Amino acid sequence: MNYNYYRNSSNLFNPEEGYNLGNMFADLYKGYKNYKPAKLTGRTPEEKSFLELSRIGFAMHEMNLYLDLHPEDRTIQQLFNDYRKMFLELEEKYEQNYGPITITSDTLEKSPFAWVKDEWPWEGGRNV
């Protein structure tokens, strides 16, 4: 087991920085030439709440990959727990206001079936 790895990986970005960069772990980050990653911002309330959902979802996923290899790391487990709770909350609120993201959403109980209503992501829907 490489213990240095544990040590280094304590340098975490916050979800906003991490999502912009595509990497939550500061010790793993490597930029390319002088390119700066885009600073993502939402203009409307929908865009803002969607962006928060994406950030937290990404942070949760990064903790997930780390925990796959270090299932006994309680510190990262705690962060994963926090992000997961927040993600579920953000997702539910977003879906109630703006439509379903997953097929298990409560918002799909009503007729007409909302799954087919919104723009698809490649057409510019939910794309902040």
Chain positions contacting another protein, by CB under 8 A: 1-3, 5-7, 10-12, 14-16, 19, 21-23, 25, 28-30, 32, 35, 37-38, 40, 45, 48-50, 52-54, 56, 58-59, 61-62, 64-66, 68-69, 71-75, 78-79, 82-83, 86, 90, 93, 97, 100-104, 115, 118, 120-122, 124-128
Identity of the residue, 35 or 111, whose beta carbon is nearer to another protein in the bound complex: 35
The number of residues making up the chain comes to 128
Q: Residue 111 CB, nearest distance to another protein (Å)?
A: 19
Identity of the residue, 38 or 111, whose beta carbon is nearer to another protein in the bound complex: 38
Partners of 25 in beta bridges: 12
- 13 close to 20: Cβ distance less than 8 angstroms: no
Q: Residue 106 CB, nearest distance to another protein (Å)?
A: 15
Q: Return d(Cα 93, Cα 33) in angstroms, integer.
A: 39
Centre a 10 Å sphere on the Cβ of residue 95 and count the other Cβ atoms it contains. 19
